[in-house]
Chains A and B, each alone.
Chain A
Amino acid sequence: DAKTTQPPSMDCAEGRAANLPCNHSTISGNEYVYWYRQIHSQGPQYIIHGLKNNETNEMASLIITEDRKSSTLILPHATLRDTAVYYCIVRVAGSGGSNYKLTFGKGTLLTVNP
């Protein structure tokens, strides 16, 4: 699986959009970009994933550049409860044994301030 690079920490004001970047310059054509977050003392929570098109769900939006070498997770209206470590992961998606490979790096600690 391709390696990702994320800033170690970011701050965001409550109510503002939080934009979390991720670089994955060695991503392969069959690798998806996944985002998870982990709030202190909780299990990792799935947020969103995508292949090459932008994606949106009730939690966030995912913007993937045309060359797929980077992406941005957008939390449109950050709240204090969004304070967490956010992980960007690239992995092959599909059936078979390879789907267990989830390599979590150090992620980005997002702190939402009142």
Chain B
Amino acid sequence: DAGITQSPRHKVTETGTPVTLRCHQTENHRYMYWYRQDPGHGLRLIHYSYGVKDTDKGEVSDGYSVSRSKTEDFLLTLESATSSQTSVYFCAISEGARNTIYFGEGSWLTVV
């Protein structure tokens, strides 16, 4: 158990609506990440954070924003959801000299 909680775990939303996914960690790790996983594309990094209020873009950041106001919470926001953002979203954390990355259980998002 990596001490990561994602919410909601499942969500269906309509095109054009805003959506926020929350990642909460209990490990006090410095780094947090949001990935999405799609068939044929594997895991792709959306955004990551290396500290409170310190975030940066990953390889598929368009259409997404993030915020980290507390060490334990990392929020992913889809300002205006599109069908192409239907995916499984994984939060991950890492800390320590070897920086092993641990993943949460995922949030299934369907945009109709």
Residues of B within 8 A of A100 (CB): 31, 33, 45, 48, 58, 101
A97 touching B50 by the CB < 8 A rule? Answer: yes
CB distance from B35 to the nearest CB of A (A): 8
CB distance from A96 to the nearest CB of B (A): 9
B98 touching A93 by the CB < 8 A rule? Answer: yes
Q: Please name the residue on chain B nearest to A99 by beta carbon.
A: B99
Tell which of A17-25, A43-51, A74-82 binds the partner. A43-51
Segment 43-66 of A: residues with Cβ below 8 Å from B: 43-46, 49
B43 touching A102 by the CB < 8 A rule? Answer: yes
Return the contact of A46 from the options B42, B50, B101 (Cβ within 8 A): B101
A95 touching B101 by the CB < 8 A rule? Answer: no
A104 touching B43 by the CB < 8 A rule? Answer: yes
B56 touching A97 by the CB < 8 A rule? Answer: yes
Say whether chain A's binding surface is mostly helix, strand, loop, or mixed. Answer: loop
Instruction: Check A104/B42 contact, CB under 8 A, given A93-B99, A99-B31, A99-B99.
Output: yes
User: A86 near B: Cβ within 8 Å?
Assistant: no
User: A114 near B: Cβ within 8 Å?
Assistant: no
Chain B positions 1 through 26: 1 when the CB is less than 8 Å from some CB of chain A, otherwise 0: 01000000000000000000000000
A32 touching B98 by the CB < 8 A rule? Answer: yes
A70 to B1: give the CA distance in the assembly, Å: 29
Tell which of B70-78, B79-87, B102-110 binds the partner. B102-110
Residues of A within 8 A of B106 (CB): 41-43
A94 to B103: give the CA distance in the assembly, Å: 18
Q: A44-B90, A100-B31, A100-B33 are in contact. List 7 more A-B contacts (CB 8 A).
A: A42-B106, A44-B103, A46-B101, A93-B99, A95-B99, A97-B50, A100-B58
**A to B CB contacts below 8 Å, 17 in the list:** A42-B105, A42-B106, A43-B105, A43-B106, A44-B43, A46-B2, A46-B100, A46-B101, A93-B98, A93-B99, A97-B56, A99-B31, A100-B48, A100-B58, A103-B42, A104-B43, A106-B42
Which 3 interchain pairs have the tightest Cβ spacing? A43-B103, A99-B99, A104-B42
